[in-house]
Copies of this chain bind each other. A is one copy, B any other.
Amino acid sequence: MSALDDPTDANLAPSIADAPAGVSDHLIAAGAFSEGERNAVYRAIETRRDVRDQFRSDPLPEDLVRRLLQAAHSAPSVGFMQPWNFILIRQPETRERVWQAFHQANEEACAMFEGDRRAQYQRLKLEGIRKAPLSICITCDTTRGGPVVLGRTHNPATDVYSTVCAVQNLWLAARAEGVGVGWVSIFHEEAIKTILGIPEHVKIVAWLCVGYVDELYDMPELSVKGWRDRLPLDRLIFEECWQDGEEP
């Protein structure tokens, strides 16, 4: 697309010296990465784990945390809404209160499983809130960008989807930094909102436990522990339309 094709930027400048960069000036070459770079991206994707117990206790350097947040902030967002905030929680007292909220919800969760499955559930460690030195609460401000947001007109939940993309960016960057991340989802949202003073119009999307790790599982922990196996990818791919069949 040339600048002349674009009605928003063409011919707005009073002189060449004052001319803003045209839209086409922002298009830059963007081919495939080198094989080594590509492998690094796939390595982050394939070896990323949901960490519950492998956290070291030493604090993360400020510049490293900043890189993780910058990665999160580089996520796609509907209408460039950028609806996220990042609350960094290091105080042990706050993490203890959040752990209590988790613990209560986890007892409720446990009671929903039957028999052997309940016993198996009880043996799983599902969070590292107190062990990891840093927690990051990632929120979504549903009002940011005003009442009508481009791209969000037909599915209001796309603001939360954007925020989840930020979580996944942070998680992959963390893997490359030797930092483990565990996503805790077992709590009543209102309990955590009360602890952190989060207003009504802001949703909690993720509570992340973050800390250095020396070791990770070579496959998802719930698979290692016998809870549930990886599904075969072939059964999840359909051509052209939905295909009914055996449940994967």
A interface with B by C-beta (< 8 Å): 1, 6-9, 23, 26-33, 36-50, 53-54, 67, 69-71, 73-76, 78-82, 84-91, 94, 105, 108-109, 112-113, 120-121, 123-124, 126, 139, 144-145, 148, 150-155, 157-158, 160-161, 164-165, 167-169, 171-173, 175-180, 183, 185-189, 195-199, 202, 205-206, 213-220, 222-231, 233, 236-242, 244, 247-248
Contacts of A219 in B (CB 8 A): 26
Number of copies: 2
Q: A185-B155, A216-B28 are in contact. Are A237 and B86 (CB under 8 A)?
A: yes
Instruction: Establish whether residues A74 and B86, one from each chain, have CB atoms under 8 Å apart when the complex forms.
Output: no
20 A–B pairs (Cβ distance < 8 Å), ordered by A: A8-B123, A8-B225, A26-B217, A26-B219, A30-B180, A31-B214, A33-B178, A37-B176, A40-B40, A42-B71, A69-B233, A69-B237, A73-B236, A75-B168, A76-B171, A80-B229, A87-B241, A88-B237, A88-B239, A158-B185
Contacts of A242 in B (CB 8 A): 85, 87, 139, 196-199, 202
Contacts of A49 in B (CB 8 A): 30
Contacts of A76 in B (CB 8 A): 48, 50, 168, 171, 183, 220
Instruction: Establish whether residues B26 and A45, one from each chain, have CB atoms under 8 Å apart when the complex forms.
Output: no
Contacts of A189 in B (CB 8 A): 154-155
Instruction: Establish whether residues A216 and B27, one from each chain, have CB atoms under 8 Å apart when the complex forms.
Output: yes
Q: A30-B215, A222-B80, A225-B23 are in contact. Are A240 and B87 (CB under 8 A)?
A: yes
Nearest-Cβ distance from residue A207 to partner chain B, whole angstroms: 11
Q: A36-B40, A45-B173, A76-B48 are in contact. Are A82 and B230 (CB under 8 A)?
A: yes
